[in-house]
Amino acid sequence: MLKARHLLIFAVLFTLCGSVLFAQDAEEGKKKKKEKAQKEEKAPKEEGDKVRLRDDYPYPSVNSTEYKDFVKKKRHDQHDKYLDNQYSYPAFPKNQWEVGIDLGAMMISGDINAGRTSGFPIPGYNFGAHIRKSFGYIFSMRLSGFGGETQGYNWRANSGWYSTEVRDVVNNPSLTGGISSHAALDAGQTQAGDDNVYSILNDEFDTPNYHAAGQGIVYYNYSTKIRNINIEGIINFNNIRFHRRRNLVSAYGIFGVGNYIFSAKQDMLDANGNEYDFEGLSADYSIDANRKDIKASLRDLFDGTFESQAMIASDDYWIFGALDKQDRAWQYRPELHFGLGLAFKVSKRFNIGWENKVFYSDEDLLDGQRFSDIDDSKDWDRYVTSNVSLNFNLGKKESFEPLWWMNPLDYSYDELNEPPCCDTWEFGDEDGDGVPDMFDEEPNSRKDCPVDTRGRELDSDGDGIKDCDDCQPFTPRHLIEQINDCGAAFDPNKVDTVFMQPQVVEVREVAPAKPECSDVMLPNVLFDLNRYGVKPEFDAQLRTVANYLQSNPGVKLCVVGNTDNRGGNAYNDVLAWKRASEVKNKLITEYGVNPTQLSVQYAGENNPVIGGLSATGDKKGIDAQHALNRRVDFKCCMDGRMDMGRPAGPDAGRK
């Protein structure tokens, strides 16, 4: 079985290497970002420049015509339609191939413990190469091949190689001169014939025969060479995280199928071709405390040549010759494997990876042994690799790096962040009057001056003097011709007249004229989507209405709430009523308006300023056209209308 200490050493070693590389990469990335920020700070800003937080991104945006250079010609038509808003998805980009060199450790999990008889802490090694191609942002495929060698040995002795308790044949003929019959061995035969598979494969010395040497125990060991070629599917995990344009670390899972050949040898003869004297070892192998001493004795005993063929089975999988031939040192098997990997980006063209994979097949002789002391072992042998990869991205200049490093939602985030209906600056409000610049006919109106829905400074009484400059902003119409330079007029009909007669004083009070109401120049109050709270930028409009009512105490206004056409009728009626109620309460509590001069009314979505708009919203981002319908109007209602009660319907909106 695999030795836990060796696995731990490898895990710690590669983790430390990966952490150092990642830390260096992260530090380098921070340095570059800092330098870029300093350059941008010093660079002059042109009017209209948009400040956006983005990763260092060397590729064109999908919304640019330059992106077509990174798309195959057969997909240019698709991208043209995307740029013309005739198709929802940009074309798939050209992306680079990854070519890599792999080097690492290899070990077998079987009946014999992994470990080198020389005492070196790494049981085995492997090296190979691969080529990988992305078929999307999540899935890629890889063709790879590798070769390597690994060793193992047991510190406990074993006698199952010759056991007669269960079987009538020798369990492991590679240790009995190639002879599989107990009767032949008991009759004194020491070696099988020249046509025996072990006689053929052991060309330097005879096949070991520990029965003839009079030894009942052996210490199993092996050296196995493996050559593998496989095809793999790779699932990238990091693209499930969508919060940056490109990944610096790629985590992924591996599954694959392949073919391998292997050759297992054992070190059972000394330099002179004689069997080792295993029974001469002094320490008792049945006591765990003697393990260290026994392993040291075995390392001194073994010469490390692995000259003898380990146990070999009939190879039903061999495809390069007749099935009945068994004199091949290399055995063929198909395999299935799984693994996990991490890759750390160093640059656009280079990254370092670390992978662990486990290979499964129906083979129990990878370590040259399939028997315990009395019976077959219960599990198939497996081999495990742990590799570091040096990976290079190859492709033309007009191609993206492999897509597992990219964000698949990059273009979607761009769309959400940049409304396509118009430039973002058009939704600004330079003068702060509450009217978007794209609809503002006076984009530089004075601060705190009331404006109408088109952003124009109000002249409520139409006397030619703006309300901000008018000493009497609501001069009665019949006195307009009598105003002074400040916009104020004197009305003799509203002042007591005194007639002087000798000895007699008569005071006559003239009844005031019936109050006149004009709502033509009264401003509106606009609201955010699904909101009924009044924004601070509309304080000037409310002050204008309050001044008008306080200057004309006989006037009564209906406060009419409106909505856009998004939402159901019942929902919109409640939201409209809430908006009107909020405006009325604000005028009363904050501006001192007489409550009897205001009446709450609602029209819901039935009285739009701009009609015919889509209820689903055909534009992304801020929709100023719908915004003009989300409002409260002030209308004259001198007919004594009372407040409308809350309409039936669900609770609506947020303040």
Render pLDDT for 268-304 as a digit per residue (tens, 0 to 9): 999 999 999 998 887 788 888 888 999 999 999 999 9
Query: Is there a single domain that holds both residue 395 and residue 542?
Result: no
Residue 433 in any domain: the answer is yes
Each residue's pLDDT tens digit, 228-259: 999 999 999 876 665 666 678 899 999 999 99
Question: Which residues have C-beta within 8 Å of that of residue 411, sequence separation ≥ 6?
Answer: 61, 62, 63, 90
The pLDDT of residue 475: 75
- Mean pLDDT value across residues 544-563: 91
Each residue's pLDDT tens digit, 563-578: 988 888 899 999 999 9
Flag whether pLDDT at 376 surpasses 60: no
Q: Are strands 249-266 and 221-236 parallel, antiparallel or unpaired?
A: antiparallel
d(CA 97, CA 221): 42
Question: Which residues have C-beta within 8 Å of that of residue 597, sequence separation ≥ 6?
Answer: 549, 553, 555, 556, 557
Query: Is there a single domain that holds both residue 396 and residue 285?
Result: yes
C-alpha 589, offset from chain centre? 51
Residue 13 in any domain: the answer is no
Using an 8 Å Cβ cutoff, are 118 and 299 in contact?
yes
Q: Are strands 139-153 and 631-636 parallel, antiparallel or unpaired?
A: unpaired
Query: Is there a single domain that holds both residue 339 and residue 444?
Result: no
Both structure tokens of 634:
């002030």
Model pTM score: 0.58
The pLDDT of residue 382: 94
Residue 339 in any domain: the answer is yes
Residue 538 in any domain: the answer is yes
pLDDT above 90 as % of the chain? 34
Query: Is there a single domain that holds both residue 333 and residue 208?
Result: yes
Both structure tokens of 603:
């029209």
Both structure tokens of 578:
């809430």
d(CA 347, CA 339): 25
Categorize the per-residue pLDDT at 500 as very low, low, confident or very high, splitting at 50, 70 and 90: very low
Pick from 635, 638, 633, 636: nearest CA to 452: 633
Highest mean pLDDT among 7-16, 94-103, 490-499: 94-103
Query: Is there a single domain that holds both residue 71 and residue 128?
Result: no
| DSSP, residue by residue, 606-626 | SS-SS-S--TT-SS-S--HHH
Both structure tokens of 474:
């609501």
d(CA 443, CA 432): 9
Both structure tokens of 293:
């001493």
Query: Is there a single domain that holds both residue 537 and residue 393?
Result: no
**Of 321-325, 355-359, 380-384, 437-441, which range is least confident?**
321-325
d(CA 484, CA 118): 113
d(CA 371, CA 161): 7
Task: Please give the torsion angle defined by the CA atoms of residues 540, 546, 547 and 550, in that order, rounded to the nearest 10 degrees.
Answer: -170
Residue-range definition of the domain harbouring residue 628: 426-455+519-636
Q: What is the DSSP letter of 322?
A: -
Count of domains forming the chain: 3
Q: Which residues on adjacent β-strands are paired with residue 359?
A: 337, 383
Both structure tokens of 621:
């981002």
C-alpha 373, offset from chain centre? 53
The pLDDT of residue 50: 37
Q: What is the DSSP letter of 297?
A: H
d(CA 441, CA 435): 9
Pick the more confident residue, 284 or 389: 389
Query: Is there a single domain that holds both residue 389 and residue 528?
Result: no
* Interhelix angle 569-591/539-551, nearest 10 degrees: 70
Query: Is there a single domain that holds both residue 85 and residue 221?
Result: no
Query: Is there a single domain that holds both residue 264 and residue 386?
Result: yes
Query: Is there a single domain that holds both residue 526 and residue 403?
Result: no
d(CA 636, CA 312): 105
Query: Is there a single domain that holds both residue 376 and residue 289?
Result: yes
Tell me which of 351, 378, 410 is where a domain ends: 410
Query: Is there a single domain that holds both residue 228 and residue 329?
Result: yes
**Helix and strand tally (H, E) in the chain?**
9, 15
Residue 403 in any domain: the answer is yes
Per-residue burial over 415-450, b if 16 or more Cβ lie within 10 Å, else e, is beeebeeeeeeebeeebebbbbbbbbebbebeeebb
The kind and range of the H/E element at 12 are: helix 4-42
Both structure tokens of 7:
């696995």
Categorize the per-residue pLDDT at 20 as very low, low, confident or very high, splitting at 50, 70 and 90: very low
Question: Which residues have C-beta within 8 Å of that of residue 178, sequence separation ≥ 6?
Answer: 191, 192, 196, 197, 198, 199, 207
Pick from 412, 343, 407, 350: nearest CA to 138: 407
Q: Is 527 helix (H, G, I), strand (E, B) or coil?
A: coil
Flag whether pLDDT at 141 surpasses 80: yes
C-alpha 15, offset from chain centre? 23
Pick from 362, 368, 392, 333: nearest CA to 208: 368
Longest dimension (CA), the chain: 171
Q: What is the DSSP letter of 225?
A: E
Average of per-residue pLDDT values in the chain: 80
Residue 466 in any domain: the answer is no
d(CA 589, CA 593): 8
Flag whether pLDDT at 591 surpasses 80: yes
Give the number of other CB atoms < 10 A from CB of residue 453.
Answer: 19
Each residue's pLDDT tens digit, 476-495: 777 777 778 787 776 555 54
Categorize the per-residue pLDDT at 29 as very low, low, confident or very high, splitting at 50, 70 and 90: low
Pick the more confident residue, 519 or 55: 519
